[in-house]
Amino acid sequence: MAMIPESVVAEIIQRNNIVEVINSFVPLKKAGNGSWKACCPFHQEKTPSFHVSETKQLYYCFGCQKGGDAVKFMRDYLNLDYVEALQQLAQRAGVVIPQNVTPEEEAAYRKRRSEAGRMYDLHEALASFYRQELLQNPNSPVAQYFATRQIPGEYAEKFRIGAAPDSWDASITFLKSRGFTEQEIIAAGVAIEKSPGGRCYDRFRNRLVFAITDENNRVIGFSARIIVKDDTAPKYVNSPETAIFHKGSILYGLAQARDSIRRNKFAIVCEGQLDTIALHRAGLDMAVAPQGLAFRSEQAELIKRYTDKLYLCFDSDSAGQQGTLRVLEFLLPMNFEIYALQIAGGKDPDEIMRTQSADVLHDALKNAIPLTRIILNGLQRSYNLATPNGKVAAAEEAVKLLGAVPNPMLREAYFEEIASALRLPINRLFEFHRKQKRFADNTFSGNQGKSDAADNAPAKYNDMRSENIRHAEASLLLLALNSADGPRQIAECLDEKLLSDSPTALILKELMNMALNGEWFSGSELLSHLPEKLAGDPEVVKMLIRDVELTAEQCRQILEDCPRELQKDYCKRKSQELLYELRETNDIVRQAAILEELKNLRKQ
Ligand SMILES: [Zn+2]
C-alpha cells in the first residue's frame, strides 16, 4: 500500500477544515458556537441530527451514529479507502504527497486496488442480474422453490436474494456484456475454468442465490442453495476465496444488522442465511451468521467492534451443542457476555417463522440461558452428572473453559455457579484451575516465571469497574475535553496506573500525554493518536464532539474528587486480589509479604 508519511497526514488534516469539506457535499447550517447541522447524508431523516463541530473538527450523527474526522467523512461519503480519501483531501488543500515509494510498489498497489474495485463492480452487477432473474421469471423452478421459503419480498430485496438461471453460461454472458473479461470473471470465482485455458462455465446454476455483503453492504460473494432434493449435490455452493471474499472474516447480515446491534447493544449469532433472515423477519434484526460452517474468532473480533454481548442461537442437536462449547473457547478470553437461545422442539428460526410465529423467537430471547447453564447443558451430554466421577470430570472441563475468562472476579463468580450447580466444594475448582494454569505457564515458554499473582495484575480487574470508577473517569474526560487547561491539570494530579483500560480511560491517558508534551489538541488530532479500533468507534466520536460548559467550581470538584475515587478503588481491588491470593497460597513467606502489602494499602 502506498504509504503517506505521518507528518504529511497531519498536514493534510490540519489544512482541511471539516466544515468546508463537508459543506462542499452537504449544505451545512450554523447551529451555534463553532457547530453546524444538516440532515444526515447517511440516513433518511427530516429533522437534522447530523452535527459538525468546527472547534473539534469532527462530525457525528445522533440518528445513525456515523461519525469521525474529515478523512472518515470522505471515506464514508465517497466510498473511498483511507489512502484515496487522503489523496483527495491533499489535492483539495494543495498538499503534495511525496513519492517515497518505488514505482514498482506504487504500480503493484494501484493494480491491486483497481482489480479489487473491478471485482466489487462485478459482484454488484451480478447480484442485480440474479435479483432480476428471480423477479422476472416467477414460474422458473428457482422462483417456485423460493415461494416455498415464504420470505416476504421486502426481505428478499433487503438481503438481495436472486436466482441463478439453469444455464452453463448465463452469468458469464451477462458479465461479458457488461465489459468484464473472462479472466476477471474467473478471478471473481463466479465462473469455473474446466482446464487451464479451457472452456468456462457458471459456478452457480439453477440455484437460489444469496448475495454475501461486507459490513458496508458491498457484495463480495455468493452462496447458492440447491432447490431440489439431491443427495449427490452440495446443499450450498459458495464463492471461493478471492481478493475480496474471505470466508473466515464475514458475518452474514452484518450490514443489515449493525445499526440494530448498536442500538440494542447486543447481537444474535445464528447458523446460516435462512436463520438470519428469519430472525430479522421476526423483528430481531440484530442477527448475524458466520458464512460457511463455524463461528470463529475472526468473526468474533468483527462483532466485538459493535457489541460485547452475544446471544448464541445454534442448533440444539448434539453437534450444535458441542459447537457451542468450542465457540466459548475463543469467546470467553475476549470478554464477551454470553447467553444462548433455546428453541422448543429443537427447531431453527427459519422453521419457526414458517410453521409458528415470531413470538416463539421473542420468547426464546427473553428466556435465554446464561453462560454457566450453557456449559452445564453441554457437559450433560458427555458426562453422567448423577455420579461423583461424572460430576468431577464435568467440573474440570468447565474450569478449563471458564479459566480463560480474563477477569478473576468474574471467573470466580462463574466457578461458584458451577460448584453450586454440581454441589462440589468451590475450593476443589480453584485448586484444579491453579494446577491447570501452572501447567499452561510451564508449557508456554513466553510465560515462564509468571506466577498466579501476575495474572491477577490490576489491569485484569479493569473491566469490573464499579459505577464509581466509570463515573470518575467520565467526569475527568469531560473536564479534559471541555476546559483548555484540563488535560494538563489532570496529568499533574493523577497517576495513570489508577485508570482502567476502558475507552474513556485510554482517551484520557492520550490527552494527558499530549498535554504533558505540550502538543496542541483538537478532536481530529486526538483521533489520529488513538488506536484505530478506538478512533473508528462512533461512541468515541460522540463523546469527543459533545460540548459541555463547566463552571470553575465544577472543574475544581472534579479535580478533587475523581482522582481520590480512583485511588480508593485501586486500593480496594488490590486488597481483594491479595486476599484471594492469601487464601489460595500455602507459601508462608508469601503470606507474610501479602499481609504487609495489605497493611500498607489500608494506610493509603
Ligand atoms: Zn445519520
Give the Å distance between the CA of 361 and the centre of ligand 1: 30
Residue 483's pLDDT is 79
Residue 483 sits at φ, ψ, to 5 deg, of -140, 130
Size (the chain), residues: 604
The b-or-e profile of 314-349 (16+ CB within 10 A means b, else e) is bbbeeebbebbbebbebbbebebebbbbbbeeebbb
Residue 306's pLDDT is 80
Give the Å distance between the CA of 306 and the centre of ligand 1: 17
Give the Å distance between the CA of 308 and the centre of ligand 1: 23
Residue 179's pLDDT is 92
> What is d(CA 572, CA 91) in angstroms, rounded to the nearest whole number?
55
| 528-548 per-position pLDDT tens digit | 777 777 777 777 788 788 777
Give the Å distance between the CA of 38 and the centre of ligand 1: 10
Residues of the chain with pLDDT under 50: 1, 442-465
Q: Which of 532, 537, 525 is nearest to 56 (CA)?
A: 525
Residue 189's pLDDT is 94
Give the Å distance between the CA of 60 and the centre of ligand 1: 8
Other CB atoms within a 10 A radius of the CB of residue 150 amount to: 12
Q: How far is CA 31 from CA 1, 69, 72, 455, in A?
A: 40, 19, 22, 50
Strand partners, 572: none
Q: 172 with 200: CB under 8 angstroms?
A: yes
Give the Å distance between the CA of 524 and the centre of ligand 1: 19
Distance separating the N- and C-terminal Cα atoms of the chain:
52
Q: How many helices (H) and strands (E) does the chain have?
A: 28, 17
Residue 445's pLDDT is 33
Give the Å distance between the CA of 214 and the centre of ligand 1: 20
Give the Å distance between the CA of 256 and the centre of ligand 1: 15
Burial class (CB in 10 A: 0-12, 13-18, 19+), 127: buried
Reported pTM: 0.59
Give the Å distance between the CA of 158 and the centre of ligand 1: 19
Read out DSSP for 147-191? HHTT--HHHHHHTTEEEE-SSSSHHHHHHHHTT--HHHHHHTTSE
Residue 339 grid cell = 447467553
Give the Å distance between the CA of 108 and the centre of ligand 1: 36
Give the Å distance between the CA of 315 and the centre of ligand 1: 36
Give the Å distance between the CA of 40 and the centre of ligand 1: 4
> What is d(CA 103, CA 99) in angstroms, rounded to the nearest whole number?
9
Give the Å distance between the CA of 47 and the centre of ligand 1: 11
Give the Å distance between the CA of 50 and the centre of ligand 1: 6
Give the Å distance between the CA of 42 and the centre of ligand 1: 5
3-state secondary structure 324-366: HHHHHHHHHHHCCEEEECCCHHHCCHHHHHHHCCHHHHHHHHH
Residue 409 sits at φ, ψ, to 5 deg, of -70, -40
Give the Å distance between the CA of 69 and the centre of ligand 1: 15
Give the Å distance between the CA of 233 and the centre of ligand 1: 45
- Identify the DSSP state of 292: S
Strand partners, 202: 191
Residue 448's pLDDT is 35
Residue 202 grid cell = 457458471
Amino acid letter, residue 19 = V
The b-or-e profile of 479-514 (16+ CB within 10 A means b, else e) is bbbebeebbbbbbeebeeebbbebbbbbbbebbbeb
User: What residues have CB less than 8 Å from 423, skipping those under 6 apart?
Assistant: 391
Give the Å distance between the CA of 6 and the centre of ligand 1: 30
The b-or-e profile of 250-283 (16+ CB within 10 A means b, else e) is bbbbbbbbbbbbbeeebbbbbbbbbbbbbbbbbe
Give the Å distance between the CA of 66 and the centre of ligand 1: 6
- Identify the DSSP state of 530: S
Give the Å distance between the CA of 74 and the centre of ligand 1: 15
Strand partners, 35: 32, 53
Give the Å distance between the CA of 305 and the centre of ligand 1: 19
> What is d(CA 162, CA 174) in angstroms, rounded to the nearest whole number?
15
Give the Å distance between the CA of 248 and the centre of ligand 1: 30
Q: 271 with 289: CB under 8 angstroms?
A: yes
Give the Å distance between the CA of 587 and the centre of ligand 1: 59
Residue 105's pLDDT is 64
Give the Å distance between the CA of 67 and the centre of ligand 1: 9
Give the Å distance between the CA of 537 and the centre of ligand 1: 15
Q: 208 with 225: CB under 8 angstroms?
A: yes
| 138-167 per-position pLDDT tens digit | 999 999 999 999 999 999 999 999 999 999
Residue 299 grid cell = 468473526
Give the Å distance between the CA of 51 and the centre of ligand 1: 9
Give the Å distance between the CA of 216 and the centre of ligand 1: 15
Give the Å distance between the CA of 49 and the centre of ligand 1: 7
Q: 70 with 524: CB under 8 angstroms?
A: yes
> What is d(CA 262, CA 539) in angstroms, rounded to the nearest whole number?
10
Give the Å distance between the CA of 61 and the centre of ligand 1: 5
Give the Å distance between the CA of 476 and the centre of ligand 1: 29
Sheet holding 267-269: strands in order across? 251-252, 287-290, 267-269, 309-312, 337-340, 369-370
Q: How far is CA 541 from CA 32, 131, 479, 557, in A?
A: 19, 37, 16, 26
Q: Which of 526, 539, 430 is nearest to 66 (CA)?
A: 539
Q: 550 with 483: CB under 8 angstroms?
A: yes
Give the Å distance between the CA of 45 and the centre of ligand 1: 8
Give the Å distance between the CA of 571 and the centre of ligand 1: 43
| Extended beta strands in 54-137, E state | 58-61, 67-68
Give the Å distance between the CA of 63 and the centre of ligand 1: 5
> What is d(CA 602, CA 604) in angstroms, rounded to the nearest whole number?
5
Residue 192 sits at φ, ψ, to 5 deg, of -120, 135
Give the Å distance between the CA of 539 and the centre of ligand 1: 14
> What is d(CA 419, CA 428) in angstroms, rounded to the nearest whole number?
9
